[in-house]
Amino acid sequence: MKRLALALPLLVSAVALADEGMWTFNGFPADKTKAKYGFSPNQEWLDHVRLSSVRLARGCSASLVSADGLVLTNHHCSRHCIDQLSTKDKDFVKNGFFAKTQPEEQKCPDMEVNILVEITDVTKRVQAATKTTPIEKFNDVQKAELATIEKECSGGDELVRCEVVNLYRGGRFDLYKHKRYQEVKLVFAPEEGIAFFGGDPDNFMFPRYDLDLSFLRIYGKDGAPAKFDHFLKWSATNAKDGDLAFVSGHPGGTSRLLTQAQLEYDRDVRWPVALARLSEWRGFLNEFAKKSPEADRTSKDDRFGVENALKAYKGRHAALADPAFFKSRVDAEKQFRDKVAKNGKLKKEFGGAWDGIAGAMDKLRGYRKELELERGPQSDLFSYARTLVRWADESGKPNGERLTEFTEARLPQLKQGLTAKKPIYDEYETARLGFSLDKMREELGPDHPVIKKVYGQKSPAAIAAELVKGSKLKDPALRQTLFEGGKEKIDANKDPMLEFVRAFDAEARAIRKKVEDEVEGATKKHGELLAKAYFAVYGQNTYPDATFTLRLSYGQVKGWKDGAKDVPATTTIAGAFDRHTGAEPFALPKSWLDAKGKLAGETPFNMVTTNDIIGGNSGSPVVSKDGEVIGLIFDGNLASLGGNYGFDEAQNRAVAVHSAAIVEALDKVYGAKRIVDELKGGAAGAKAGSP
């Protein structure tokens, strides 16, 4: 992990010599790509790529690849949909899915996609609103202002999603206006065995051989595929070593601007606690899955998610646990603080911000266990119940005073999630609820007043069994009725899960409020000061931390040196067959074994690029300077996990499916000619290469 230490100077000087940065579309440094790669994207290029980029609102990226709303993303980005559409007899996760005709495409129960149509700077308005606000009210006041701006922007239109984005930890606020689509259907998904070939052992590793892709299609309200002016064409030439590559996607979050106190919290509390928690969860899940094929199937989506998160968090923790890297961050902060301290004006205005944030972190340490109440147990039924119980109260409040997830900008997504026709499996739901009720008691202690009140003399497992057996909230129609019925209907319903939520909702809200006021408010307030100080000292020529909004990164197709070993930039389809052992997770699906003779072994399969990406970028298109798809991001290498805290061009790599492998597999393994034609022709029903 020593290599991460190299990244820091770039952050400090804000002069990105390397392919560093998740840049906003309204702040892209075209001069940098010009200088390094001889290509400078113009506004038309930027607009075209932006309007062809798609956000999956649950947390992934994607792109439009035809005028008829065909969307390319990862398998793991739509696997919750693939999973939800599966049944005991039809396991699309295991066996794959292909709608041979467009009418056979199946609706995803819980999928919202967004396309960014406009960005407006609202910094002055947001900062003015809190200019004289005392720190303990800062969060409330800012939140209300954001909600107001967002509501004005959408004008109540549910097909528009507006969000104010906090950039540079409060140094800038931009209003992002998206088109919102909730009618999304599954078109194609390969078997998990090839989408996630190598499984957890190979996850975040390279060389790789994964066809981690799926195709979705956006539909209009009229039930027909939606039409789009902008979409990315499929590259006719194969990307190769050294080629310039852009990645347009939605990195979920980075922490490159954290202060030392925040980094210490992450290193000493956040990650150790999360690693232990997720590890136990993983141990439980893997053993639970062995009970039966159905137990395996119904818990698989969670298992995938837990193992993925666990590996990612281990990488983040490892970056902070590296003494050289941590020291580089400490030194950089010291340099910054010294510069502020030496300037009387800056010192007076901003000098207290670091200690202010450190104080907030101290408070968070103290509140962490109590926050378990707000976190609540792992259970869909519990989530539904809590959403309903809170909606009963929140729906009566003005937009600006609501909990963020109930503000109007977010309500359509919340409602979709709540009412989705998503299966709930009693056995698994009971097991995971029991598991997490046990953990909740463990964190809070058996003598915590809430535990005494809510658990009484019952064991966590007994409570879970009663709740899952007794709750009627499994029924999406009931949830919809209650949501639409509002406070009166919800309050009148005595479903045991609703009652369970009510039993400690006041306490859960109380600790949330405390943390929002005392920790988040203070962090935002002092973060804004730090941002201003940073701009004053280092200028504005840098990129903000990732915020799950659209960003553009640049780089090239390029391998790296892993210790003494050269890792080439691409793998081939033949390599996948070499790695096949026949035992999970190194077992290729039958379709691939059958097609082996037809496949061109030398076809590039996966590739690495120097682009600066992070979780949330999954599903992002890799785009050539011609604006065409040359690959599909689905992972980063191990070093890239430390990218949360700093980027190192020598070691960090984005991992993508090569565009050539996609058409090769669609054509020769899956006989999915209609998709190949649409990709190459740019529209449904097109002949390949027609336009």
Q: Using CB under 8 A as the criterion, which residues of the chain lie in contact with a second copy when the complex forms?
A: 198, 200-202, 205, 264, 267-269, 271-272, 275-277, 279-288, 291, 310, 314, 317, 320-321, 323, 435, 441-442, 445-446, 456-459, 462, 581-584, 586
Q: Within 10 A of 155 (CB to CB), how many other CB atoms are there?
A: 8
User: Which residue lies nearer to a second copy by CB, 574 or 587?
Assistant: 587
Least separation in angstroms between residue 462's CB and a second copy is: 7
Cβ closest to a second copy, residue 24 vs residue 571: 571
Cα gap 21→553, rounded to integer Å: 6
Q: Which positions ≥6 away from 72 have C-beta within 8 Å?
A: 62, 63, 65, 213, 215, 619, 621, 629, 632
Distance CA(78)–CA(189), nearest Å, equals 9
DSSP structural state of residue 269? I
C-alpha to C-alpha distance for 236 and 562, rounded to whole angstroms: 32
Residue 313 CB, shortest distance to a second copy, in Å, is 9
CB of 447 to a second copy, least distance (A): 8
DSSP 357-426: HHHHHHHHHHHTTTTHHHH--S-HHHHHHHHHHHHHHHTTS-GGGS-GGGSTTTHHHHHHHHH------H
CB 83 within 8 A of CB 428: no
Which is closer to a second copy, CB of 280 or CB of 517? 280
Contact 193, 214 (CB under 8 A): no
**What is the C-alpha end-to-end distance of the chain, expressed in Å?**
48
Q: How far is the CB of 624 from a second copy (least distance, A)?
A: 32
Measured from the CB atom, the residue of 240 and 452 that comes closer to a second copy is 452
Tell me how far, at minimum, the Cβ of 267 lies from a second copy, in Å: 7
Closer residue to a second copy (CB): 141 or 503: 503
Cβ proximity of 29 and 21 under 8 Å: yes
With b for 16 or more beta-carbon neighbours within 10 A and e for fewer, the 558-574 pattern comes to bbbeeeeeebebbbbbe
Q: What are phi and psi of 287, to 5 degrees?
A: -80, -40
Which one, 30 or 274, has the nearer CB to a second copy?
A: 274
Q: Which residues pair with 627 in a beta bridge?
A: none
Q: Smallest distance, Å, CB 370 to a second copy? A: 13
Q: How far is the CB of 81 from a second copy (least distance, A)?
A: 28
Q: Least distance to a second copy from the beta carbon of 452, Å? A: 10
Provide the token pair at 673: 């000619």
Residue closer to a second copy (CB basis): 236 or 462: 462
Q: State in angstroms the smallest separation of the CB of 88 from a second copy.
A: 22
Q: Angle CA(142)–CA(148)–CA(149) in degrees, nearest 5?
A: 90
> 67 or 361: whose CB is closer to a second copy?
361
- Can you tell me the distance from the alpha carbon of 605 to that of 631, in angstroms, rounded to the nearest whole number? 10
Q: Which of 2, 205, 311 is nearest to 637 (CA)?
A: 205
Phi and psi at residue 108, in whole multiples of 5°? Answer: -75, 130
CB of 446 to a second copy, least distance (A): 5
Smallest separation (angstroms) from a second copy to the CB of 116: 38
Runs of H (alpha helix) within 445-554: 449-455, 460-470, 476-492, 496-503, 505-515, 521-538
| Residue 665 C-beta: closest distance to a second copy, Å | 23
Beta carbon nearer to a second copy, 1 or 676 = 1
Beta carbon nearer to a second copy, 279 or 395: 279
The rounded distance, in Å, linking the Cα atoms of 467 and 117 is 44
Q: Which is nearer to a second copy, 576 or 672 (CB)?
A: 576
The answer to whether the CB of 85 falls within 8 A of the CB of 186 is yes
Q: Any idea what the Cα angle at residue 246 is, between residues 243 and 248, rounded to 5°?
A: 160
| Between 166 and 570, CB nearer to a second copy | 570
The answer to whether the CB of 75 falls within 8 A of the CB of 213 is yes
Q: Which is nearer to a second copy, 118 or 442 (CB)?
A: 442
Q: How far is the CB of 626 from a second copy (least distance, A)?
A: 36
> Which residue lies nearer to a second copy by CB, 349 or 442?
442
In the bound complex, what is the minimum distance in angstroms from residue 593's beta carbon to a second copy? 14
| 150 CB burial (10 A radius; 0-12, 13-18, 19+) | buried
